[in-house]
């Protein structure tokens, strides 16, 4: 936190400590890119540092990672926040059990960016790692901030400072727009109970524990905005979006020195009275063009961090998390989470977390003084057009839309059912996310699609386009209730990727080595460039038996993973047989050998 140029890779938060395995990850976000979530299990399990775009080029690895880990990772996202993917992929259907749209009870946004990760040890016991951040689960190149800590649940009395975070996890089923599986509800309850009894230490340099603040879990707006502290001498506030009400909450502390870092367009919109109160106004310096790699071009960038540092007496208090300095964020309309830590403001012997220390550590070099600009009034026609887009989006959220599936003569019937809202001055198009956006159609073109089994999905993309003004389209993905959705969609995708007996045997041998073996086989992160995928070799029963026995002696669970893949491929429809007939006999021999060794 005190080194602004330090980068934290998000997947590191999910990687287990030595001797532990990932048991459960609960993640909350305002916006979600399905492609990021698609690559996340593989990046974590295979310990790959490859970019998401590189991992997405390995559909077989992605699918197997999802098969092994997707039931352990659950994402709760604002119901408006699922982005339309750049590319159509059959694998999106594998994410459906892990993605849960939610709605803020106060009528605003579900906005927290919290990761709660539980790691289990074979020796018993668990470790819980928590990340409170300003970053969504997206491709954004924005400048963000995160606070990460881990602790061990105890059987002693509850920890009051952790109670607000435990309450958020406990409340997630009530915020979800769909009914969760009872098993997941029970797991969330268990995790929240452990959070209630876990004390989280502050990062290095701070001498307090973590205290969590959760906003917006009530039934409506509060009568006052949340104030981090009621007294302070000095304040540094960082947020991309601010308003007069939010800044007033900080001004009420009586701080004489106030520094605000925000976006130029945000500061442009503030009244002159606020400019007079916050005389030290700063913006983030624009990044050099060469810092944006080709695959990240066009993605959101700039300031996205939310943090407030307040000094009182000899101490500095940090508040880090998701809340912007706006009325919606601080008065309970949005659901937000902030983490509080504190320490001495004076830098001595490598310690000290005051504002001056943070600025000198490099943050000041990232900022530039704000220069007031002339603001042109918004075009009334454009404002009305954007309002119409948002109104239609809200009607979609409140509609009774669903999906009905039924087998057809060749492909499956996938039909959008329910009442579509009227779209005055707005063109509405939709399509299943497993198809390209070029295949989008309007409701007038039909609500019934003929889709192969592997492209059936509960995720539906919508594009809203204004017809009266040239404004940006509004796009979103909704996860809709579905009737008649068949099982075995991921098995069908697996069958598509593994299309020959030779490729199956190559994959099987790699699978025996775990995901690390799969990564080596595919060439991801290495120099082989995926050339190992094309190695020849027929079915050698003796060699394969030795490979399975060797893997079973080291990790017996790998045999069950192999058996699961074989059963799924054998059951999946297809013209060509890819599983050798004698393979089941080999697995049975391995099982008998393992049972005999256990009896000895």
- Whether 426 contacts 467, CB under 8 Å: yes
Q: What is the residue-wise DSSP string for 4-52?
A: TT----GGGGGSPPTTEEEEEEEEEES-B-HHHHHHHHHHHHTT----H
The pLDDT of residue 390: 96
Q: What is the rounded end-to-end Cα distance, in angstroms, of the chain?
A: 55
- Whether 495 contacts 541, CB under 8 Å: no
The pLDDT of residue 351: 72
Residues facing residue 282 across a β-bridge:
261, 369
The pLDDT of residue 373: 85
Q: What is the 3-state secondary structure (H, E, C) of 470-528?
A: CCCCEEEEEECCEECCCCCHHHHHHHHHCCCHHHHHHHHHHHCCHHHHHHHHHCCCCCC
Q: Which string of b and e fits 462-487 if b means at least 16 CB within 10 Å? A: bbbbbeebebeebbbbbbbebeebee
**Which class for 117: exposed (0-12), middle (13-18), buried (19 or more C-beta within 10 A)?**
buried
Tokens representing residue 121 in the block? 């040890």
Round to whole Å and give the CA distance between 208 and 53.
Answer: 40
The pLDDT of residue 157: 86
292: number of CA atoms within 13 Å, CB side?
A: 16
The pLDDT of residue 56: 72
Q: What is the 3-state secondary structure (H, E, C) of 236-295?
A: EEECCCECHHHHHHHHCCCCCEEEEEECHHHHHHCCHHHHHHCCEEEEECCCCHHHCCHH
Residue ranges of E strands in 90-196: 99-102, 114-121, 126-133, 141-143, 146-151
Nearest alpha-carbon partner for 457 in 94, 73, 81, 77: 94
| Strands across the sheet containing 99-102 | 99-102, 73-78, 20-29, 114-121, 126-133, 146-151
Q: What is the 3-state secondary structure (H, E, C) of 103-119?
A: CCCCCCCECCCEEEEEE
Round to whole Å and give the CA distance between 354 and 361.
Answer: 11
The pLDDT of residue 539: 52
- Whether 149 contacts 129, CB under 8 Å: yes
- Whether 578 contacts 495, CB under 8 Å: yes
Going by C-beta distance under 8 Å and a sequence separation of 6 or more, which residues neighbour residue 270?
242, 243, 244, 247
Residues facing residue 29 across a β-bridge:
77
pLDDT in tens, the chain (600 residues): 445 555 556 678 888 888 898 899 999 999 999 998 888 877 776 665 566 667 777 777 777 777 777 788 999 999 999 999 988 888 898 899 999 999 999 999 999 999 999 999 978 889 999 999 999 998 887 888 999 999 999 988 899 999 999 999 999 999 999 999 999 999 999 999 999 999 999 998 899 999 999 999 976 555 678 999 999 999 999 999 999 999 998 988 999 999 999 999 999 999 988 888 898 999 988 754 444 344 444 456 789 999 999 999 999 999 999 999 999 999 999 999 999 999 999 877 667 899 999 998 889 999 999 998 888 888 999 999 999 999 999 999 999 999 999 998 889 999 999 999 988 899 999 999 999 999 999 999 999 999 999 899 999 999 999 999 999 999 999 999 999 999 878 777 777 777 777 777 767 766 776 656 666 665 554 443 343 444 444 556 667 777 777 777 777 777 777 777 777 776 666 656 777 777 777 777 766 766 665 555
């Amino acid at each position: 936190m005190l080194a602004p140029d330090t980068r934290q890779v998000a997947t590191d938060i999910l990687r287990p400590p030595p001797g532990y395995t990932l048991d459960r990850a609960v993640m909350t976000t305002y916006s979600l890119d399905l492609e990021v979530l698609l690559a996340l299990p593989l990046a974590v399990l295979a310990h790959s540092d490859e970019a998401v775009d590189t991992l997405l080029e390995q559909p077989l690895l992605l699918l197997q990672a999802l098969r092994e880990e997707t039931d352990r990772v659950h994402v709760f996202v604002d119901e408006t926040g699922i982005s339309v993917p750049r590319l159509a992929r059959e694998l999106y259907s594998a994410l459906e059990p892990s993605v849960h749209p939610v709605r803020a009870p106060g009528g605003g946004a579900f906005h927290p960016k919290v990761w709660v990760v539980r790691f289990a040890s074979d020796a018993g016991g668990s470790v819980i790692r928590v990340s409170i951040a300003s970053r969504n689960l997206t491709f954004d190149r924005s400048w963000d901030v995160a606070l990460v800590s881990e602790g061990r649940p105890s059987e002693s009395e509850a920890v009051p400072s952790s109670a607000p975070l435990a309450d958020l996890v406990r409340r997630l089923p009530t915020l979800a727009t769909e009914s969760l599986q009872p098993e997941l509800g029970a797991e969330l309850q268990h995790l929240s109970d452990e959070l209630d009894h876990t004390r989280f230490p502050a990062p290095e340099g701070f001498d307090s524990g973590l205290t969590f603040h959760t906003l917006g879990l009530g039934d409506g707006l509060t009568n006052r905005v949340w104030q981090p502290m009621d007294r302070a001498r000095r304040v540094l506030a960082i947020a991309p979006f601010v308003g007069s009400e939010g800044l007033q909450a900080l001004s009420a502390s009586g701080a004489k020195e106030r520094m605000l870092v925000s976006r130029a367009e945000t500061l442009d919109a503030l009244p002159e009275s606020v400019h007079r109160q916050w005389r030290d106004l700063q913006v983030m310096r624009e990044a050099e063009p060469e810092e944006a790699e080709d695959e990240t071009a066009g993605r959101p960038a700039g300031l996205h961090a939310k943090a407030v540092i307040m000094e009182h007496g000899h101490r500095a208090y940090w508040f880090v998390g998701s809340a912007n300095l706006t009325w919606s964020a601080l008065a309970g309309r949005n659901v937000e989470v902030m983490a509080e830590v504190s320490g001495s403001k004076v830098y001595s012997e490598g310690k000290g977390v005051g504002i001056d220390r943070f600025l000198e550590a490099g943050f000041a070099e990232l900022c530039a003084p704000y220069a007031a600009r002339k603001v042109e009034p918004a075009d009334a026609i454009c404002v009305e057009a954007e309002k119409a887009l948002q109104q239609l989006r809200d009607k979609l959220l409140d509609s009774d839309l669903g999906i009905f599936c039924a087998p057809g003569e060749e492909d499956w019937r996938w039909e959008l059912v329910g009442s579509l809202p009227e779209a005055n001055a707005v063109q509405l198009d939709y399509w299943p996310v497993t198809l390209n956006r070029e295949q989008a159609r309007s409701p007038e073109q039909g609500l019934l699609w003929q889709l192969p089994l592997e492209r059936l999905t509960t995720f539906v993309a919508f594009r809203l386009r204004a017809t009266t003004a040239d404004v940006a389209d509004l796009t979103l993905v909704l996860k809709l209730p579905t009737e008649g959705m068949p099982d075995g969609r991921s098995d069908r995708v697996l069958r598509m990727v593994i299309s020959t007996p030779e490729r199956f045997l190559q994959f099987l041998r790699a699978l025996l080595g775990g995901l690390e073996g799969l990564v080596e086989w595919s060439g991801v992160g290495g120099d082989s460039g995926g050339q190992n995928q094309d190695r020849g070799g027929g079915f050698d029963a003796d060699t394969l038996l030795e490979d399975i026995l060797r893997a079973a002696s080291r990790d017996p669970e790998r045999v069950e993973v192999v058996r699961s893949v074989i059963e799924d491929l054998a059951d999946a429809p297809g013209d060509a047989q890819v599983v050798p007939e004698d393979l089941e006999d080999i697995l049975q021999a391995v099982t008998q050998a393992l049972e005999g060794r256990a009896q000895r």
